[in-house]
Amino acid sequence: MSGIDWAVMLSTIGLIVAYGVWKTRGPQTADAYIRGGNTLKWPAIGLSIMATQASAITFMSTPGVAFERGMGFVQFYLGLPIAMVVISAIIVPIYYRQRVFTAYEYLEGRFDLKTRLLGASLFLISRGLAVGISIYAPAIVLSTLFGWQLETLVIALGGIVIVYTVSGGTRAVTQTQKQQMIVMMGGMIVAAVVVVMRLPDAVSLDDALAVAGSLGRMEIIDPTFDLGNRYTLWSGLLGGFFLALSYFGTDQSQVQRYLGGRSVTESRLGLLFNGILKIPMQLLILFVGVMVFVFYQFSAPPVHFNQAYVAAVYETAHADDYRALEDDFGVAFVDKQQHIQALLTARAEGDEPAVEAASAALKASEAKLEAIRGDAKRVMQLALGKNERETKDSDYIFISFVVGHLPIGLIGLLMAVILSAAMSSTASELNALGTTTVVDFYKRLGRGTPTDRQLVVATKGFTIMWGLVAIGFASFASVLDNLIEAVNILGSLFYGTVLGIFLVAFFIKRVGGTAVFAGALCAQAVVLGLFFGTDLAYLWFNVVGCACVIVFASIAQLVVPAPQR
Amino acid sequence: MSEADKQPNTSSADTGPDLDDTPPLLGSWRNIYIVVLGNLVLLIVLFWLLTAAYT
């Protein structure tokens, strides 16, 4: 990166953090520190909600997903607006009336202490492990790409987040997220414009979308009902609805964002703001990925986007094999150009049979290139002793494009986008982990009633502790690659169960704590059984887990004493 | 429509958040929810048209 890029990146991040710390300076009460003092307006809440969900992975991996598989991933978010409406209409008023600090606090009032601790524990386990990934994921890619030391980057990133999250609590997180979200969206809009401008002059946006469509990147909606297909209209609407309902309605890292609202109205509007803008935002990021894909139809891409690995292969005995595949790739790429031109010419002339023929030839040409890329990955695996997942390069596609093809200054801005995303999601998670540990365990189970100051100090202490856990996990994650995958799956396995507990709490008043506790344990066993015994796409675990809790808890209530009123 | 939608304004000026629940525009929360869900339907239709046009 050039000096200008460094200056843009560091000044953007530095100014945001400094502004957040300055804006939230001064004496702090527990309510102000944990819940933001109920001063937040809906734009801040909405941006904070979006920034919490948008991690660095969103901006690095999502364009890579679009590059490889097209824009169908947007269906994952189709259930989100429906969930926002349900949470706004039903859940927000309940939390406000109870004046809770955490979502799990509500469960004790509705059920009992053990159910509250179960919900809080599931959150701490899954989110406590996942927060390390929020730091590790961008750090590993950036360190590989730029040769930066991984541990230094992890400590720097984690350290900055700990400083401003601890200093200002929920208000600091929200204040910084407003600016971070503006940088993130501004950066991606500029990237979208620049990538379209980088296409050859003779290629219009319509032509670019046609090329992408011919190669299967424009299948945005898949109406088929296939339980094994991860992203369809139905899995997105139904599975995505339950996932979003669980994440935004019961996960403290999100609940804490809107509990700080000035009023019920502000919180509701913040959630609905997310319901309207989230899908267009994801579409924009996927569009950037597809345009990068089209760009590489006219400009030769590398065979493998992780150039650090490629350089390592050149140093091994497999270098000649790899170079031979690069030569084959170059020949196949030149061959593909004539099919692209044939397609564009046929479209311009309105010759449908010629369009069909050119499209088929283009697909065959692309399949040949993909086969060579597959062979190159296998050579890389042999040469470097890596497995298939380790040589996956989709996370490197967008960042390689940014570094290789964007102008000076914009590279620094896009780096700031990625680091801002990493910090915004990590800050919310640390803020929520510290809060849940204090409110649901320290304050609830400790002796005596802590003073306001003790609560603030304890929350700061536990936030630092979780920050250090995250940094530690991120530092060791490189030797625990399989564990990272396990952690990601772990989170998705628990969401349905947690949501089921909350839905029973909200809607089935005759079910008590013991029944829902037993129902939750049984439901979790069913989800784990399906996970280990079937190929069911993971979005459906949210539906199954939630439904099982409701059914099992209702049945269990028939055999246990009715809850005392 | 939730129970809170039907409640009169119960602002708590003491320590807690404002429980005032009047939507600032469109007259009622139901209308705002219809706009959000209508936006979703429009997006799905748009995606459908784009899929049909370029696939």
Phi and psi for A262 in degrees, rounded to 5?
A: -65, -30
A423 and A541 belong to one structural domain:
no
A21 and A113 belong to one structural domain:
yes
Residue A478 clears pLDDT 70, i.e. is over it: no
- Kindly list the residues from chain B whose CB atom is less than 8 angstroms away from the CB atom of residue A268: 21, 23, 29
> Among A94, A205, A264, which would you mutate to test the B interface (most chain B Cβ atoms within 10 Å of its Cβ)?
A264
Is the CB of B8 inside 8 Å of chain A's CB atoms?
no
**Quick one: pLDDT band at residue A502, thresholds 50, 70, 90?**
very high
**Quick one: pLDDT band at residue A540, thresholds 50, 70, 90?**
confident
Residue A278 clears pLDDT 90, i.e. is over it: yes
Is the CB of A276 inside 8 Å of chain B's CB atoms?
yes
A127 and A237 belong to one structural domain:
yes
What would you measure as the largest C-alpha separation in chain B, in angstroms?
A: 59
Residue A377 lies in a domain: yes
Is the CB of A272 inside 8 Å of chain B's CB atoms?
yes
Q: What type of residue is A52?
A: T
- What distance in Å separates residue B49's CA from the closest CA in chain A? 9
Q: Closest Cα to residue A498, out of A133, A109, A106, A234?
A: A106
**Quick one: pLDDT band at residue A33, thresholds 50, 70, 90?**
confident
Residue A218 lies in a domain: yes
Q: Which pLDDT tens digit goes with each residue over B26-48?
A: 888 999 999 999 999 999 999 99
Q: Which pLDDT tens digit goes with each residue over A139-169?
A: 888 887 788 888 898 999 999 999 999 988 8
- Kindly list the residues from chain B whose CB atom is less than 8 angstroms away from the CB atom of residue A31: 15
A194 and A204 belong to one structural domain:
yes
Domain with A505, as residue range(s), is 480-565
**Quick one: pLDDT band at residue B18, thresholds 50, 70, 90?**
low
Residue A194 clears pLDDT 80, i.e. is over it: yes
A268 and A172 belong to one structural domain:
yes
- What distance in Å separates residue B23's CA from the closest CA in chain A? 6
* Sequential DSSP letters for A235-303: IIIIIHHHHHHHHHHH-HHHHHHHHTBSBHHHHHHHHHHHHHHHHHHHHHHHHHHHHHHHHHHHSPPPS
- What distance in Å separates residue A275's CA from the closest CA in chain B? 7
Q: Do A261 and B17 touch (CB under 8 A)?
A: yes
Residue A108 lies in a domain: yes
Q: Tell me, what CATH number does A167's domain have?
A: 1.20.1730.10
- Kindly list the residues from chain B whose CB atom is less than 8 angstroms away from the CB atom of residue A97: 4, 19
A52 and A120 belong to one structural domain:
yes
Q: Which pLDDT tens digit goes with each residue over A75-129?
A: 989 999 999 999 999 999 999 988 899 999 999 989 999 999 999 998 898 888 8
CB A55 within 8 A of CB A184: no
Lowest mean pLDDT among A36-40, A108-112, A295-299: A36-40
Residue A229 lies in a domain: yes
> Among A94, A96, A294, which would you mutate to test the B interface (most chain B Cβ atoms within 10 Å of its Cβ)?
A96
Residue B8 clears pLDDT 50, i.e. is over it: no
Return d(Cα A508, Cα A554) in angstroms, integer: 8
- What distance in Å separates residue A259's CA from the closest CA in chain B? 9
Look at residue A474 in the predicted model and tell me its pLDDT.
Answer: 84
Return d(Cα A165, Cα A11) in angstroms, integer: 19
> Among A215, A272, A290, A363, which would you mutate to test the B interface (most chain B Cβ atoms within 10 Å of its Cβ)?
A272
A327 and A276 belong to one structural domain:
no
List the domain boundaries for chain B. Answer: 25-55
Q: Quick one: which H or E segment has residue A155?
A: helix A150-197
| Nearest chain B residue to A39, by CA | B17
Total domains in the fold of chain A: 3
The proportion of chain A whose per-residue pLDDT surpasses 70, expressed as a percent, equals 96
Look at residue A536 in the predicted model and tell me its pLDDT.
Answer: 77
Look at residue A271 in the predicted model and tell me its pLDDT.
Answer: 96
Residue A515 clears pLDDT 50, i.e. is over it: yes
